Amino acid sequence: MSRTLRRVLVAAAALLAGAVFVPAAGAQQTSGAQPYIVGGTNASVADHPYAVYLVDERENQFCGGTLVAADTVVTAAHCAVAVHSSELGVVAGRQDKRGTDGMRLGVRRVWVAPDYEDPTTGNDIAVLTLAGSAPYRTARVAGPQDEALYAPGTMATVLGWGRLSEGGEKSDTLRSAQVPVVDDLSCGQSYDTYDPQTMLCAGYPEGGVDACQGDSGGPLVVGDTLIGVVSWGDGCAQAGKPGVYTRVSSYVEDLPGI
Ligand code: ARG
C-alpha cells in the first residue's frame, strides 16, 4: 500500500471516529483557546493580505496559497495537481469563505517542482500564474540569504482555512497560529522521510498547535517573509509529530515569475 493511500485511510478512520477524537484533541488545549487551524485564533486578511485559498470546480476551498506577486501564487504541488488548471480558482482578499469580498481569479499556468512525486518525499511546491492581477500586498519569498529565519525556535505564523481539529470541520474564516521552527535532528526522529534540504518542521513537542487538512499550500511566514508551504504531517497537532513544510528558500531560484 502506498504511503499516501495509507494516510488517506488513516484520515478516513479518524473521520469515522471523529466523535472520539474531537474531545480528546480539545482536552489537549492547555489554555482556554479554541482549536482553530488547530490551536490558533482568528486572523484578518488586512493583516495577511497575501493569504489566499484555492477552489475546485465546485468552488469548494481545498487548499491555501500565498500571493508573492500580483499574478503569482505559491502553493503546494499536491494542491496544484489535485484539480485541472482550467477548473482551478484562486480567491484573494476574502477572509470569510461565505462572503463575496475580494476576488476569484482563474489560473493561466501551473508550474510544479520537477522532482515532485509525493509530499513525504519532498519538492511539494508549485507556482500558479493567475489570469488577472490581485491588488493586495504580497509576501516576500525567503532565499538563501534568509537562513537565520530557519533557526530552531524561530516563531513563525501559519495561516489557513483548514480543519479546526484532526478529522474535524474546516474553518469558514481565516485562522492563524504561532509555531516554533523545529531542529532537523528532532524532525528526523519524528519522520523517517524528513529531508532537511527540502523541508522544515514547525510545532511544539507537546503538540496542540498545527496546520491541518485544508491548510495545505498555505503560508508559513516570519513577518511577511514566506519560509514554508504547508505540506504534510502525521495527523494534526499530535505530540512528537510537528507539521512539515516545504523549505521555500531551497526553491526560490527555480520558481517562475518571482
Ligand atoms: N496535507 C494536508 C492538506 O492537504 C496538510 C497537512 C498538514 N498537516 C499537519 N499536521 N501540519 O491540507
Assign residue 45 the CATH number of its domain.
2.40.10.10
pLDDT at site 28: 38
Residue 255: inside a domain, yes or no? no
User: Which residues 6+ apart lie within 8 Å of 197 measured at CB?
Assistant: 122, 247, 250
Residue 31: inside a domain, yes or no? no
Whether 124 is in the pocket of ligand 1, judged by its Cβ within 6 Å, is no
Tell me the chain's radius of gyration from C-alpha atoms: 17
pLDDT at site 23: 37
Please state whether the predicted TM-score (pTM) of the whole model is above 0.85: yes
Domain count, the chain: 1
Give, for ligand 1, the residue of 7, 62, 116, 232 to mutate: max count of ligand atoms closer than 8 Å to Cβ. 232
The C-alpha angle 105, 212, 80, rounded to 5 degrees, equals 35
- 48 noted as active-site residue: no
Amino acid at 213: Q
Residue 133: inside a domain, yes or no? yes
Whether 40 is in the pocket of ligand 1, judged by its Cβ within 6 Å, is no
**Of all protein residues, whose CA lies closest to atom 4 belonging to ligand 1?**
216
pLDDT at site 190: 98
Residue 9: inside a domain, yes or no? no
Residue 153: inside a domain, yes or no? yes
Listed in order, strand segments (DSSP E) in the chain are 41-42, 51-55, 61-69, 72-75, 89-92, 103-112, 126-130, 140-141, 155-160, 175-182, 199-202, 219-222, 225-232, 243-247
Residue 57: inside a domain, yes or no? yes
Whether 190 is in the pocket of ligand 1, judged by its Cβ within 6 Å, is no
Separation of alpha carbons 63 and 45, rounded Å: 16
pLDDT at site 24: 38
Q: What is the pLDDT along the chain (258 residues), one digit of tens a residue?
A: 454 444 544 444 444 443 333 333 333 333 333 346 899 999 999 999 999 999 999 999 999 999 999 999 999 999 999 999 999 999 999 999 999 999 999 999 999 999 999 999 999 999 999 999 999 999 999 999 999 999 999 999 999 999 999 999 999 999 999 999 999 999 999 999 999 999 999 999 999 999 999 999 999 999 999 999 999 999 999 999 999 999 999 999 999 988
Which is nearest to 177 in space by CA: 143, 148, 151, 212?
212
pLDDT at site 258: 86
Whether 215 is in the pocket of ligand 1, judged by its Cβ within 6 Å, is yes
Residue 113: inside a domain, yes or no? yes
- 78 noted as active-site residue: yes
Give me ligand 1 centre to Cα 119, in Å.
Answer: 10
Separation of alpha carbons 249 and 38, rounded Å: 26
DSSP line for 146-161: GGGGGSTT-EEEEEES
Sign of CA dihedral 229, 232, 236, 239: negative
Residue 4: inside a domain, yes or no? no
Domain span including residue 67: 41-250
pLDDT at site 36: 60
